[in-house]
Amino acid sequence: MDQSVQRALNDKLYDKRKVGALDLERIIRDLAASKDFDRIKKIIQQLCNDYAYAVHQPHARNGGLIGLAAAAIALGPASRPFIDFNMYNIAKVAKGEVLPYFNDIFDALCKLGADSELSVKNGAELLDRLIKDIVSESAATYVSILHTLDEMSPENDKETPDESVDLPTAFSLARFIPLLKERIYVINPFTRTFLVGWITLLDSIPDLELVSYLPEFLGGLFKFLSDPNRDVHVATQGALERFLSEIKRISRIKKGIEESRRSRSDGKRKRSRSLDSEGSMVPDAGGDDDSATGPDERDVSSDDDWLPGQDVQVNHKEIMEILTTNLDSPLEEECLLESLRWIVDFLEICPEEVLPFAPKILAHLLPAMASGVETIRQAAARVNTSLMDYVVSLSDEGAASEPSSGGPSRIPTSIVKDNADHRDSSTNTRGSLSNSREIDRRESEVQTPPPAYNKPETPIPQSLPQLQVDLDYAAAVNSLTLLFLNDHEATRVAALTWLLMLHRKAPRKVLAFNDGTFPALLKTLSDPAEAVVTRDLQLLSQISRNSGDDYFTSFMENLLQLFSTDRKLLETRGNLIIRQLCVSLSAERIYRTLADCIEKEEDVEFASIMVQNLNNNLITAPQLAELRKRLRNLETKV
């Protein structure tokens, strides 16, 4: 090396050593360009022997290290394989002391894992295995010697002479997670395999509790399932299985602890009542005080028993947000299938956390029930069944209350006046319905935000009432009504089935939003699928059955107006609609109300057609056999 470079590298000031390293980098780059590799080799040997190995000259050692770094930079990509092996040797000696620099090492390995040069990739894999071994052995407990030296300084001894301070571990998940969150959205399959391997390893270390940070990278991890590389898919599936099993285990432990505490609390109260009753019978029982307090003390001490996982916090709400977001991507079949599976399990783990997401889940779940992939249809059906069972199991306060004597709000008689202008094509009809439903949905979201629910971190004392989580009926009805526009019959039938269940459970809550729902139900009567029309009629009948006379009369008036504006519907579905209504409602009541409405009809031709249809059904329809029998026997006056 030049004398000026040697003096600069041996200087006690860092800035001068840095200047010398930059000069050395320029010199080596020029030598590499002229292919003078012999001199480069001599310079590197000089840096090692005269500088890096100078044990008693700290400035020279620092200069040698920065000089070697400058030489590596000057040599460019050609030095990468050697750097891998050098880093391997350093990590093998330093072991836990490399953990404070884990983020830098991980970032470099993440990039080298996708390197096209085989020697570089082999060196990176060798280093990766060594770092994994170090992390597995030391990440949870190892404290760097640098932290220890800091704590042993005289200043700290003066400040806390009698206090023991918990030193931070060299490895920190809190520092690592932001880097993982940044890298999790890579596309390269080799890098994805590298990331899944590290995620699996970190999750296998009990004291780290990686599952607490799961929402930070779960969304990107789900994307790995759509990777065409089979190895990536299998590794990701295994990692997700592991996380889900761990969440289930933590939930079981916490529920078991809560049940144990509740049973002990009940036992304490029973013993207290028993002791009170015995004390009233025996005036002097001072010797029993110790024996009476003994079991309670044992119960209190048993509260201190610790089980692995009982203090791990899993953010179910954020995980559910990720799962419902995945439902928005129906083209990624593997991601959608796994998300549905997680939702089914979450309905068992924490159903109260899933309920606020029910409207959004329904909006994407019911279309998935008509998917062309059998596995997705089956998974969607399982989620649908589990979610409906849980909603049915909720307290039905609304369903238990009867309609007020004042009568429900009357359905506007003009809700189908625009049908004549929009019945020319089903496309126009569905387009106008979509616009109106979208407006209703937005207004409903502004007026009735979903109820906020915060899961308590500690068990609620039994003396306090448990918070009852309820379904956001407004958002659910809006989501289901929009599905009337879906192209698949199975989806429309499922949406009507949900509306039937919700109205049966809480008729007042569902009826509160009928201004937007009822016109959609009437328009659905013209659906090409007979199963949809039948289910729609069941819902309309159920609404009428739970409403007053004014509501029923308005329903009949709007039905006649619909027939009047859509003669094709009257011809093709008129008899079916009348017969189905007579099955669900009182046939006599329907005929009496329709007769009063037809009597006021100004269109004589339409009135004649309706009278003829009603007479034909009365004479021939099996659903009207009971009414025919009553007329024949003259049991009542019609």
CB 75 within 8 Å of CB 114: no
Q: What tokens were used for 489?
A: 């019959």
Interior CA angle at 318 toward 317 and 319, to 5°? 90
Sign for the pseudo-dihedral over CA of 292, 295, 296, 297: positive
> What is the DSSP annotation of 148-164?
HHHHTSHHHHHH-SS--
CB-based contacts of 11, cutoff 8 Å, min separation 6: 17, 20, 59, 63
Helices 567-584 and 530-545, packing angle to 10 deg: 50
Number of Cα atoms under 13 Å in the Cβ half of residue 57: 15
Distances (CA, A) of 563 to 417, 475, 560, 577, 610: 11, 31, 5, 11, 9
Query: Which amino acid is it at 166?
Result: D
Q: How far is the C-alpha of 555 from the C-alpha of 511, rounded, in Å?
A: 14
Query: Which amino acid is it at 128?
Result: D
Buried-exposed string 498-536: b where 16+ CB fall within 10 A, e elsewhere: bbbebbebbbbbbbbbbebbbbbbbbbbbbeeeebbbbb
- Does this model's pTM top 0.95? My answer is no
CB-based contacts of 222, cutoff 8 Å, min separation 6: 240, 322, 326, 335, 338, 339
pLDDT of res. 77: 75
Nearest to 103 by CA among 168, 178, 209, 184: 178
Nearest to 127 by CA among 77, 73, 91: 91
pLDDT of res. 421: 41
pLDDT of res. 434: 39
Q: How far is the C-alpha of 621 from the C-alpha of 624, rounded, in Å?
A: 6
Helix (H) or strand (E) holding 578: helix 567-584
> What is the DSSP annotation of 410-477?
PPPTTTTTTHHHH-S-HHHHHHHHHHHHHHHHHHHHHHSPPPP----SSPPPTTSPPP-----HHHHH
Number of Cα atoms under 13 Å in the Cβ half of residue 101: 14
Q: How many residues does the chain have?
A: 638
Nearest to 371 by CA among 488, 495, 480, 222: 488
pLDDT of res. 53: 86
Q: How far is the C-alpha of 124 from the C-alpha of 109, rounded, in Å?
A: 6
End-to-end CA distance of the chain: 119
pLDDT of res. 123: 87
Farthest CA pair distance, the chain:
127
Residues of the chain with confidence (pLDDT) below 70? 147-166, 266-267, 269-271, 273-306, 308-309, 396-469, 511-515, 634-638
CB 9 within 8 Å of CB 64: yes
CB-based contacts of 412, cutoff 8 Å, min separation 6: 515, 554
Q: How far is the C-alpha of 495 from the C-alpha of 500, rounded, in Å?
A: 9
Nearest to 262 by CA among 145, 295, 270: 270
Residue whose tokens read 């959608």: 336
CB-based contacts of 93, cutoff 8 Å, min separation 6: none
Residue whose tokens read 């089980």: 307
> What is the DSSP annotation of 470-508?
---HHHHHHHHHHGGG-S-HHHHHHHHHHHHHHHHH-HH
Interior CA angle at 192 toward 191 and 193, to 5°? 90
> What is the DSSP annotation of 313-334?
---HHHHHHHHHHHTT-TT-HH
CB 189 within 8 Å of CB 232: yes
Taking residue 243's Cβ as centre, other Cβ atoms within 10 Å add up to 21
Q: How far is the C-alpha of 557 from the C-alpha of 560, rounded, in Å?
A: 5
Nearest to 217 by CA among 230, 190, 245, 198: 198
Residue whose tokens read 């600069």: 8
pLDDT of res. 405: 34
CB 292 within 8 Å of CB 275: yes
| 174 burial via Cβ count (<10 Å: 0-12, 13-18, 19+) | exposed
* Backbone φ, ψ for residue 459 (5° rounding): -60, 140
H-helix segments, 95-188: 102-112, 118-138, 145-151, 154-159, 173-183
Q: How far is the C-alpha of 583 from the C-alpha of 581, rounded, in Å?
A: 5
